[in-house]
Amino acid sequence: MEGVGFYKHGGPEVLKRIDAPDPIPGNRDVVIRSIATSVNRVDILSRVGYHGLEIEMPHFPGSDIIGIVEKVGRDVDSVSVGEKVTANNTYGCGRCQACRSGDATLCADWKMMGLDVNGAYASMVKIPASSIFRPPRRFSDYEIASMSHNMTVVWRALRTIGKSSEGEVVVVRGASGNAGIFATMIAKALKMKVIALSRNSEKRRRLRQLGANLALNPEDSKEHLKKAVFDFTDGKGADMVIESFGATAGESIGWLRPGGKAVVFGSIAGTQAKVSIPSLYLNGASILGTHNASTKDFSEAFEFAVKHNIRPIIARIMEISQAGRAQTMLEQAEPFGKIILKHG
């Protein structure tokens, strides 16, 4: 197989075309020939590396996938060679209670395609058959490659973890990023009211077009932002904040109504947050953490997208050979929507 990957952590320059042996499926695995993937923040995280991340080199990022089943392991009867599939990128040991209940995100030994095991920047990807899904026919290949990661993560944050309800007010931080765009669209389809945060005025306009009730600039003063959230909610505070920023969780707590929740699914802005503990217990507020999607989240998210006609926004379609440039775009001048990387 071939693809774009790296032999050592570093900047975008470490990404190069690499030839590697084809993956061999274990008894319960499937090997997928990748048609396309899309660029996610996690691709950059795996490239740069962080303390505790152990990956075999060379490594191929890519946490979204659409492709064709190329090989199946001896014990796989749920899917056949030649079928078009996508996959939930997160899987576990397969034996613990969390795995047996279908929620590998809670497995002590979870793995993520593209982060710590090879992903779809490679032309062939090995993944357990239990992670494979047949994509709804309504969506194009590139749409599926835009949805399998961000949309399912956000669905879990809003519904499974956040237990959001119709009519509730949710603040979406980083709303013009790919997870934020899905969060805005899904929250609207759930009949929630959305306060979207983005630094870019044109992107705030696009978010309002997608249904955000209010779009704020997070670079405005803290006092102004808090007042805007409380004014919008008639002085009550938001029911929920969802964010992948991490470092801002303390400020998010200050925007909540009594009993409100901040759901955190990343730490793009930093791994440490300053949180006022009295603002949690005196207000009955919670900070809830989550990452990726269970089997149930994954299928529910796609069912919801079909039912409510949620379609991803695709900003660019690029060749896999341009992966370095695509990652730099995401880091420096993120377009509004997904960047697809297609295999030739």
| Binding residues for Zn ion (CB under 5 A) | 92-93, 96, 99, 107
Q: How far apart are CA 164 and CA 172, in angstroms?
A: 13
Name the DSSP class of 117.
B
3-state secondary structure of 149: coil
**Minimum distance of Zn ion from residue 78's CB (angstroms):** 19
User: Which residue number, 93 or 287, has a Cβ lying nearer to Zn ion?
Assistant: 93
> For residue 198, which amino acid is it?
S
User: Which residue number, 107 or 341, has a Cβ lying nearer to Zn ion?
Assistant: 107
CA distances from 12 to 52, 145, 332 (A): 21, 22, 12
**Minimum distance of Zn ion from residue 293's CB (angstroms):** 15
Contact in structure between 140 and 342 (CB atoms under 8 Å): no
User: Which residue number, 95 or 138, has a Cβ lying nearer to Zn ion?
Assistant: 95
- Nearest-CB residue to Zn ion? 107
Strands lying side by side in the sheet with 286-289? 214-216, 193-197, 169-172, 238-243, 256-264, 286-289
Q: How far apart are CA 269 and CA 222, in angstroms?
A: 16
CA distances from 42 to 37, 49, 256, 313 (A): 13, 10, 28, 19
**Minimum distance of Zn ion from residue 130's CB (angstroms):** 11
CA distances from 44 to 153, 263, 291, 323, 332 (A): 17, 23, 17, 11, 12
Bridge partner list, 262: 241, 287
* Strand duo 314-319 + 338-342: pairing: parallel
User: Which residue number, 92 or 312, has a Cβ lying nearer to Zn ion?
Assistant: 92
**Minimum distance of Zn ion from residue 228's CB (angstroms):** 43
User: Which residue number, 92 or 162, has a Cβ lying nearer to Zn ion?
Assistant: 92
User: Which residue number, 92 or 128, has a Cβ lying nearer to Zn ion?
Assistant: 92
**Minimum distance of Zn ion from residue 338's CB (angstroms):** 30
3-state secondary structure of 280: helix
User: Which residue number, 128 or 254, has a Cβ lying nearer to Zn ion?
Assistant: 128
**Minimum distance of Zn ion from residue 292's CB (angstroms):** 13
Please give the full DSSP string across 58-87, using - where no structure is assigned. Answer: SB------EEEEEEE-TT--SS-TT-EEEE
94-100 CB contacts, 8 Å cutoff, 24+ apart: 94/28, 94/128, 94/130
**Minimum distance of Zn ion from residue 101's CB (angstroms):** 10
User: Which residue number, 1 or 107, has a Cβ lying nearer to Zn ion?
Assistant: 107
**Minimum distance of Zn ion from residue 146's CB (angstroms):** 28
